[in-house]
């Protein structure tokens, strides 16, 4: 008997919570202290490590999406049941908001703390490198496309069994190393939503890009996977858990 949907949803909640708390936490709590040596590379590694650790902790429960774009991308590839898409995305967004809330409580307890962008994503004046809308949109599409391509490829039939979490985590690290200066790196609508709700203002007004662009990139990767991995029987018919026979 497969894992029931409530357990899957809880796994997605905690996986996304850890991703946002660990990745954004490194940026908000640690990156401002040069003596700790965190900075740009450290934040990139933190995001990669959150995915790697939770992939092994709960990936066998829910598939380890922790990201609405990943859920939609895997659905477009035939790797996620239609009935799981909305519950997964709701759990991911709630987990991200909860993590951002806890992070805000911790960070704001420091005297004189200034939230700034609170690890939010943005374009134009809110881009770390002041990159424009077109460049930021293209960056998020391409980065999410390759993130999904890595996920699908490393979890497909014929890939090394039990090692997928490593290239997925390293892939997310590489994505951050490249794109933090451009958008502060999203590739994950839930990760963008949590901090933006607390940063408010212009960050909320630009949140749309960090839903639309990652979903486009993920969906394109999923559709390509239907063709490129077809000979490995990547696309499988998924039967709803309640209809399975023990």
Question: Which run of H or E residues covers position 95?
Answer: helix 82-107
**What is the rounded distance in angstroms from the CA atom of residue 77 to the CA atom of residue 223?**
6
**Domain 5-243, CATH class in plain words:** mainly alpha
What global pTM score does this model have? Answer: 0.91
Please, is 116 exposed, middle or buried when counting C-beta atoms within 10 Å of its C-beta (0-12, 13-18, 19+)?
exposed
The torsion defined by the Cα of 50, 61, 11 and 4, in degrees rounded to 10, comes to 170
Q: Output the pLDDT for position 39.
A: 85
Across the range 121-128, mean pLDDT stands at 98
Q: Which of 3-17, 25-39, 215-229 has the lowest mean pLDDT?
A: 25-39
Under the banding of pLDDT at 50, 70 and 90, the label for residue 159 is confident
Under the banding of pLDDT at 50, 70 and 90, the label for residue 237 is very low
């Amino acid at each position: 008997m497969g894992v029931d949907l409530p357990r899957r949803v809880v796994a997605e909640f905690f996986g996304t919570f850890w991703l946002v708390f660990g990745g954004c936490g490194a940026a908000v709590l640690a990156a401002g202290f040069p003596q700790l040596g965190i900075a740009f590379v450290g934040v990139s590694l933190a995001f990669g490590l959150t995915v790697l650790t939770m992939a092994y902790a709960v990936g066998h429960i829910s598939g380890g999406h922790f990201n609405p774009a990943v859920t939609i991308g895997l659905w477009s590839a035939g790797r996620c049941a239609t009935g799981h898409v909305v519950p997964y995305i709701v759990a991911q967004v709630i987990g991200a908001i909860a993590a951002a809330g806890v992070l805000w409580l911790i960070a704001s307890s420091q005297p004189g703390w200034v939230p700034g962008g609170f690890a939010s994503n943005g374009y134009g004046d809110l881009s770390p490198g002041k990159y424009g809308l077109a460049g930021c949109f293209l960056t998020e599409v391409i980065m999410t496309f390759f993130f999904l391509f890595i996920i699908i490829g490393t979890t497909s039939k014929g890939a090394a069994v039990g090692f997928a979490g490593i290239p997925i985590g390293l892939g997310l690290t590489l994505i951050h190393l490249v794109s933090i200066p451009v958008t502060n790196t999203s590739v994950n609508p839930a990760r963008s939503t949590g901090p933006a709700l607390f940063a408010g203002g212009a960050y909320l007004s630009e949140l749309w890009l960090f839903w639309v662009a990652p979903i486009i990139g993920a969906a394109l990767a999923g559709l390509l996977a239907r063709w490129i991995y077809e000979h490995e029987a990547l696309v499988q018919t998924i039967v709803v858990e309640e209809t399975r026979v023990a």
